[in-house]
């Protein structure tokens, strides 16, 4: 296969241009105050983007060129608690170091700290992922207007680049997806390694993107994998917003709407979910070989009821095992280089809505068009240059990360495989589309 990229029509999303402005914005972090917004306050942060050129208040936290450090101080009683109940918050402190100048440090005391992850879970004495809730015990504590920090351990991605580049591609394709950069993390003075500093998908995420907001945001319980929009799985959806009301009748309507007769499936489902948003996400998942996402495996997503349109959309999440790799073939980092657009090579049962979409000629046509649009977004981005930038920016921190569960040679091998995927995958997808008549 030629390593040269084919000439294709490239459609740039206005969203990526806006995000580029965000990455250049500067704003001082807000330490603490009297803000007592709750998770259900739909008016929170509505004034953060009145000046579009300035970007959102939180943009500096995830700026492309920023490489912050988070220093966690976790008392022994909190460590003991995390050993027993890792998903429950306990009290500690965090120092945010955006630069090498100590004068820029921001310290938050008495914050909530817990561990995160399912398959990627690591205990506190290994390389855990962290969730930090700044206002768990002190009302009003915020960093650049945000109450939550998510630090992913990247233990399922030896290249340590998949999530950052993948979410960039989702955003370029017009799919709502979190911002991200990398960070160094220390715990009680010990270097815990290189982490992904990822924007949290929470009430503040949807309040920034939508008005009115927040609608109901659903995550998947840690008690189950492969949860889908079928009646038997409803108990495994966890409501994260509007918990004071806890009205989940919208989820019942979604489950009923995507479960109707074959003859009217596409129309019925369109009354309860946003096909454009959903298929755009599926197009990117096909392109990056996301065999572990909703379309490939009924996994790694959040569902949001967007109030303005009265439709559900899905947010991508947990995209570390993408761009060719799979846990079933750990010695071949390009196993999914030729990942099938219909998800048939995912080695898992596809999402229920995707299965039904493929059986609908109208829906299948729209899905294939969404794959084509994702390919346009792929071509519009300098992905190899982005890879080079991330590798150069994080190289020293990665080499010093002795807690990562793979060797430096494996990291280099998977980074090389990532480059090969970026060079070849676009041609492969173009050929797959052509072979299918699109």
Domains of the chain by residue range: 15-203, 211-435
Instruction: For 360-411, write each residue's pLDDT tens digit.
Output: 999 999 999 999 999 999 999 999 999 999 999 999 999 999 999 999 999 9
Q: How far apart are CA 32 and CA 35, in angstroms?
A: 8
pLDDT at 20: 38
CA atoms within 13 A on the CB side of 24: 8
Instruction: For 293-348, write each residue's pLDDT tens digit.
Output: 999 999 999 999 999 999 999 999 999 999 999 988 989 999 999 999 999 999 99
pTM for this entry: 0.89
18 has a pLDDT exceeding 50: no
The answer for residues whose C-beta is within 8 angstroms of residue 185's C-beta and 6 or more apart is 69, 70, 71, 72, 130, 151, 191, 192, 193, 194, 195
Instruction: For 162-182, write each residue's pLDDT tens digit.
Output: 999 999 999 999 999 999 999
Is the Cβ–Cβ distance between 363 and 370 less than 8 Å?
no
* Opening angle at CA 164, ends 418 and 3, nearest 5: 30
């Amino acid at each position: 296969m030629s390593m040269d990229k084919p000439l294709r029509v490239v459609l740039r999303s206005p969203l990526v241009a806006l995000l580029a402005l965000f990455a250049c914005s500067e704003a001082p972090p807000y330490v603490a105050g009297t803000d007592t917004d709750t998770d259900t306050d739909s008016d929170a942060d509505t004034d953060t983007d009145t000046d579009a050129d300035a970007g959102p208040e939180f943009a500096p936290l995830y700026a492309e060129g920023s490489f912050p450090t988070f220093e966690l101080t976790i008392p022994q009683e909190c460590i003991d608690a995390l050993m027993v109940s890792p998903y429950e918050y306990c009290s500690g402190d965090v120092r945010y170091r955006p630069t090498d100048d100590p004068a820029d440090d921001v310290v938050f005391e008495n914050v909530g700290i817990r561990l995160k992850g399912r398959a990627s879970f690591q205990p506190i004495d290994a390389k855990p992922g962290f969730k930090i809730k700044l206002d768990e015990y002190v009302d009003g504590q915020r960093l650049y207007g945000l109450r939550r920090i998510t630090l992913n351990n990247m233990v399922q991605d030896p290249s340590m680049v998949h999530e950052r580049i993948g979410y960039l591609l989702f955003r370029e394709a017009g799919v709502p997806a979190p911002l991200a950069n990398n960070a160094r993390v220390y715990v009680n003075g010990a270097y815990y390694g290189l982490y992904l500093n990822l924007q949290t998908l929470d009430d503040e995420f949807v309040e920034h993107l939508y008005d009115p907001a927040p609608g109901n945001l659903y995550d998947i319980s840690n008690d189950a994998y492969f949860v889908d929009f079928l009646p038997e799985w409803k108990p495994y959806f966890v409501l994260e917003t509007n918990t004071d009301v806890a009205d989940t009748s919208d989820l019942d309507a979604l489950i009923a709407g995507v479960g109707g007769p074959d003859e009217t499936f596409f129309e019925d489902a369109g009354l309860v979910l946003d096909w454009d948003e959903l298929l755009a996400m599926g197009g990117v998942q096909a392109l990056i070989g996301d065999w572990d996402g909703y379309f490939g495996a009924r996994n790694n997503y959040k569902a949001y009821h967007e109030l303005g349109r009265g439709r559900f959309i899905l947010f991508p999440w947990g995209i570390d095992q993408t761009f060719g790799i799979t846990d079933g073939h750990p010695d071949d980092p390009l196993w999914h280089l030729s990942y099938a657009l219909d998800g048939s090579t995912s080695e898992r049962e596809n999402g229920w809505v995707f299965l039904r979409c493929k059986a609908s000629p109208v829906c299948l046509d729209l899905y294939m068009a969404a794959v084509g649009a994702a390919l346009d977004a792929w071509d519009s981005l300098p992905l190899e240059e982005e890879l080079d930038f991330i590798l150069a920016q994080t190289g020293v921190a990665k080499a010093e990360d002795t807690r990562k569960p793979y060797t430096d040679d494996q990291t280099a091998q998977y980074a090389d495989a990532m480059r090969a995927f970026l060079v070849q995958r676009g041609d492969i997808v173009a050929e797959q589309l052509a072979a299918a008549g699109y």
